[in-house]
Amino acid sequence: MSIMIITILIITICNNFINCMTFNTKTLCESIRDTQIYEMLNILAIGLDGKENLIIMTKDKFIYDAPIEQIFDENNLHLHLEQITPSTMMNVYTQLNVNERFNLLYEYDQIHSAFFLTIMTKTSLCFISMDPSAQPSLNYWLDDNLVYESIDYKIPISQWVDEDIDDFVISNRPGQIEYFVWRNHRATGKSSIGIARLRSQSKNEEEIWKFFKENIVFQHICIENEHNVYLHPIPDGDCTGKQFSAIDVTIGFFTKNNLILMGERYVYKIPEKVLYNMSKSEPYQQQTIEEFISCPHEAQPINGMEFVTNNDLSSTILMISLSLILALMYVFLGWYCWAKILKSRIGGSGENEDDEDDEDDDDDERTLMKTKIQMSKQQIRTKSMIGLNGKSKQMSQLRAMKSVKSKYGFSPKSKLQSKLSSPMKSKLSMKSSQRRSPSTLGSNMSPSRLQMKSNMKMKSNLKMKSNMRMTKSRMSPGKYRSPKSKIRENLI
């Protein structure tokens, strides 16, 4: 929203700046004189009103209005625009400026012909559209400041429909009910003029216009002696000599004595006697558009527009510079914010992908842990099975020992201990007895039996020690035999 406001501000300032700098009296006049500026003649309509003021309406909506004697020199064919100050159309023709149909025709360049039509002392500015069937004509009364859209102005169609022609309506002169249409035949390079005159002034405007359309006649203008022209008496008749050609003209008006035709390069003056006295030649005059118009040497403000001084110019340039700086700041800020948003969106998608990867990793870890747990459980089951097998084996051994004892009256272990009377066997029995924990023995025997067992062991140990001493004392050192040798002899 702020960028839009700043853009509108810049456009407004620039438009005001351009208008103030470009459209002053000097530059506006030069845009009419120098047709290369717009690449066309910058005049939309030109003609006399009922007060015999010459009115010029430019294509950029500026109005020149002054008595014809003050600004136009007919003898020398010169237009003095340096002596008058133009005004904007919005300040002079207020209703026309706001008319919707006129603005449509103007903005879309659909104005075929614009001319001033004076009936007695009442003048109207008429506009004919490019397509009269789609856009009817428009009639603006200058004195009443009113727009009428009911009257249907049309230029008669040429009898040669396929012919490439350009035509326009010429502004008539006050006091004469006349209608003139200039027509350029581009294929042949010839020019002709259509004339319709009404002697009676008792008819209303619609009847007059109907009469014009039905009674207009086109005649060629011929050249005689290179500098004189005359009107061919026969409608659409060919000239015996050279035919007058002014195919570059786009607009024209009548003064009291002459027809003035204006084009992008040349201006022509044809005496009005040629149009009344047929077959009688009159000298015509031709000169360039640059020679025809004189412009002011110094720029002056246009009425309805502010003129820019040096101080105003400096302030305007400063305002434009500040506006551009603000606009660039907003553009940079907007770009930065969009970059941040885009980066966050891309980062968010990446984080989501990372989260998905993490979840996949977690799932893999969970699966691995489950596998390890299952393996550890399997190992525990295997070990427990092995332990159970060992316990069952021990239980089976115990059962076997009990069965032997119950059958023979002694256990295999006690039998073995009684046979091993040597010191080594006693040591082995002591070690085996030491390995057995009291808890284990206590768990298998009663307390009295356990006490008897310990006493027997002590007696046997003492007896074994005494026997060993006696044996050492009796035997000589060379004849000593260890208990292992005795056992080995017994076995042999």
449 pLDDT tier (thresholds 50, 70, 90)? low
pLDDT average, residue stretch 36-60: 92
- The token duo for 47 is 């003609």
What's residue 121's pLDDT? 77
**Element at 408 (helix H, strand E):** helix 310-408
**What are the domain boundaries of the chain?**
24-162+169-181+247-304
Q: What is the pLDDT of residues 80-132, one digit of tens each?
A: 999 889 999 999 999 999 999 999 999 999 999 999 988 777 899 999 888 87
Pick from 188-197, 296-305, 387-396 the range whose average pLDDT is largest: 188-197
246: tokens are: 């002014």
Across 291-296, average pLDDT: 94
At what angle are helices 2-22 and 310-408 packed, to 10 degrees?
Answer: 160
Q: What are the structure tokens assigned to 439, written together?
A: 């808890």
**Range 286-300 average pLDDT:** 92
Residue 484 has phi, psi (to 5 degrees) of: -65, -40
How many residues does the structure list for the chain? Answer: 492
Three-state SS for 19? Answer: helix
Residue 255 near residue 237 (C-beta atoms within 8 A): no
For 225-257, letters b (16+ CB in 10 Å) and e give eeeebbbbeeeeeebeeebbebbbbbbbbbbee
Q: pLDDT value at position 479?
A: 43
pLDDT at 132: 75
> What's the pLDDT score for residue 212?
83
> What mean pLDDT do residues 32-39 have?
86
pLDDT at 469: 60
Answering whether pTM is above 0.75, one says: no
- Mean of the pLDDT values across residues 415-436? 45
Q: What is the mean pLDDT of residues 270-288?
A: 89
Cα 215 to chain centroid distance, Å, stands at 58
Residues 6+ apart with CB under 8 A from 129: 105, 110, 111, 112, 135, 136, 137, 138
pLDDT of residue 425: 44
**pLDDT score, position 48:** 94
Contact status, residue 162 vs residue 142, Cβ threshold 8 Å = no
Q: Where is pLDDT greater, at 89 or 387?
A: 89
Question: What's the confidence (pLDDT) of residue 415?
Answer: 43
| pLDDT 10s digits, 228-259 | 999 988 888 888 888 888 888 999 999 989 99
